[in-house]
Amino acid sequence: MYRQNYFIYWLVLLFFLFVNVSGGDQKIPFPEALSDASIKVDNLDDILNGALILGNGDINSLVYSDEGSIVMHLTKNNVWDARLITKDDPPIPTIDLIKQLGASDSAFPLKTNNSNFVLPEGATWEGKDSYHTEAYPCPRQCARITIEVKENVTDFNGEVDLRRAVAKVQGKETPMKPVQIRALANRNVFLVESADQVVLEPVKSKGLPEIVTGVTDKVTWLKQEIPGDLDWLGMEFAVAVALNGNLKAIAIVSSIESDDVVGDAIELAKETVEAEPALLISDHESEWDKFWSRSGIEMDNQFLQSTWYRSLYFLRCFSKPGVQSVGLFAGLINDVPAWHGDYHTNYNIQQTYWAAYPSNHPEIAEPYDRLISEYLTRGKWLSEKVFSMDGAYYPHVMYAYEPSDPAKCKSRNGRQYIHHTWGYTLGVSGFAIQPLWWRYKYDPDVERLKNRVYPVVREVATFYAEFIEQCAVSYTHL
Amino acid at 239: V
Report which DSSP code applies to 177.
Answer: P
- Mean pLDDT for the chain overall: 90
Q: Mark out the alpha helices in 122-273 (DSSP H runs).
A: 130-133, 261-273
Indicate the Cα dihedral angle 36, 356, 72, 79, nearest 10°.
-170
Question: Picking from 69-83, 91-105, 286-300, 394-408, which range would have the lowest pLDDT averaged per residue?
Answer: 91-105
Give just the sign of the alpha carbon dihedral 351, 356, 357, 363.
negative
Give pTM, 2 decimals: 0.92
Mean pLDDT of 125-154: 92
Nearest to 255 by CA among 223, 278, 285, 287: 223
Whether 272 shows a pLDDT value over 70: the answer reads: yes
Adjacent-strand bridge partners of 60: 55, 75
Question: Picking from 81-90, 102-111, 159-168, 294-303, which range would have the lowest pLDDT averaged per residue?
Answer: 102-111
- The CA distance from 240 to 74, in Å, is 12
Please provide residue 460's backbone torsions phi and psi, each rounded to the nearest 5 degrees.
-70, -35
- The CA distance from 154 to 158, in Å, is 14
75-92: burial string, b at 16+ Cβ within 10 Å, e else? bbbbbbbbbbbbeebbeb
Q: What angle do CA 457, 460, 466 make, to 5 degrees?
A: 135
Adjacent-strand bridge partners of 69: 66, 148
Mean pLDDT of 212-239: 98
- The CA distance from 325 to 372, in Å, is 10
> Backbone dihedral region of 406: left (phi > 0), alpha (psi from -120 to 50 degrees) or beta?
alpha
